[in-house]
Copies of this chain bind each other. A is one copy, B any other.
Amino acid sequence: MVDAAGGGEWLVTSIGRSTADSISVRGHDLAHDLMGQLPFADVAYLLVAGHAPTSDESRLFNAVLVSLADHGLTPTALAARLTYTGAPEAIQGVIAAGLLGGGSVFLGPVEDTAQFLAAALDGLSKRDRDDPRRLQEAAKAAVNSALADGRRVPGLGHPIHKVADPRTARLFELARDRGLEGPHMRLLDLVASEHRRATSKPLPINGAGAAGAALADLGFQPFIIKGFALLARTAGLIAHLAEEATHPIGMRLWQEVEGRASRAED
């Protein structure tokens, strides 16, 4: 097709197609090959990657999403609940408001860790990535460079899980069991050790960091990893929405804040 502005096939998609009596997704018949055959998260994987995960990849991928779904009464959950207080008729706005807080502070570490590891691996050949010595050097260089610039090393430390984040050990265990621990996860492990050595502060790998590394080893790019983190978080937001509808917090929180707030102009 040639568009008005001149030139070429730009209006192209390879995600899916429909005819009067069939729907296909990435070349699979939706009704017969996917519905009832693949779990939802595997179809999300298929939609993005263009191919379905193996059963091992599926297990790790699902575990990562599960690890990111729950989040308690975080700012994003509170923002969603407060949005429900004002606009209970527009559920899409409630979920959207909750996701919008998934930025650099809260969901960022998942993406940031993937980005940090990808940058540290950049330039290493496939063979180098499998060489523990090279990986060790890359970890050391990345940590030292971050510390020298006063940048935080992402994926380390957690305000509550100060000694160990229970999600981390589980993700590493699942990946190792299935032979899916790739250069990103191995590098993250080395980064944590190097960081401990360089700072004398033993910071554990947090769940967000482990999740980012695992998704990177599954072949996803950092911005897509952020997308999957948002997908996982959406599940938690629906739970908060359901709870808010039956046990509302938003209205009472507002009343309490309004009542307690000092007015600086007084």
Give chain B nearest CB distance to A260 CB in angstroms: 5
Given contacts A13-B72, A160-B18, contact A231 B230 (CB under 8 A): no
Contact check, A230 vs B239: say whether CB atoms are below 8 A apart. no
Contact digits for A77-108, partner B, Cβ 8 Å, 1 yes 0 no: 01110110111111111111101111111110
Alpha-carbon distance A249/B23, docked complex (angstroms) = 22
Q: Which of B35, B93, B240 is within 8 Å of A67, CB to CB?
A: B35
Q: How far is the CB of A65 from chain B (nearest CB, A)?
A: 4
Q: Which stretch in A4-12, A116-124, A133-141, A146-154 binds the other chain?
A: A4-12
Q: How far is the CB of A45 from chain B (nearest CB, A)?
A: 9
Query: Given the complex of chains A and B, what is the CA–CA distance between A102 and B234 in angstroms?
Result: 14
- Contact status B104-A89, CB under 8 Å: yes
Q: Would B78 and A253 count as touching, CB distance under 8 A?
A: yes
CB < 8 Å neighbour of A90 from B5, B48, B92 = B92
CB distance from A163 to the nearest CB of B (A): 7
* Bound-state Cα–Cα, A27 to B264, Å: 10
CA of A105 to CA of B92, assembled, Å: 12
Please name all residues of chain B whose beta carbon is closer than 8 Å to the beta carbon of A90 when the two chains form the complex.
Answer: 87, 89-90, 92-93, 100, 103
**Chain B residues, CB < 8 A from A94:** 100
Q: Which residues of the partner chain B approach A41 to less than 8 Å between Cβ atoms? A: 39-41
- Chain B residues contacting A40 (CB-CB under 8 Å) are 39-41, 62, 65-66, 69, 232, 235
A175 to chain B, nearest CB (A): 10
CB within 8 A of A73: which of B13, B164, B232?
Answer: B13
Residue A54 is within 8 A (CB to CB) of chain B in the complex: no
Tell whether A250 is near chain B: CB-to-CB under 8 Å: yes
Nearest first, the 3 closest Cβ-Cβ pairs linking A and B are A87-B103, A86-B101, A14-B264
Q: Identify 22 residue pairs between A and B in the complex whose beta-carbon atoms are under 8 Å apart, listed by A's number.
A: A11-B249, A11-B257, A13-B72, A13-B249, A13-B261, A20-B163, A31-B166, A36-B63, A39-B41, A39-B62, A40-B66, A40-B235, A47-B238, A76-B82, A79-B79, A87-B100, A88-B104, A90-B100, A92-B99, A221-B245, A223-B245, A224-B242
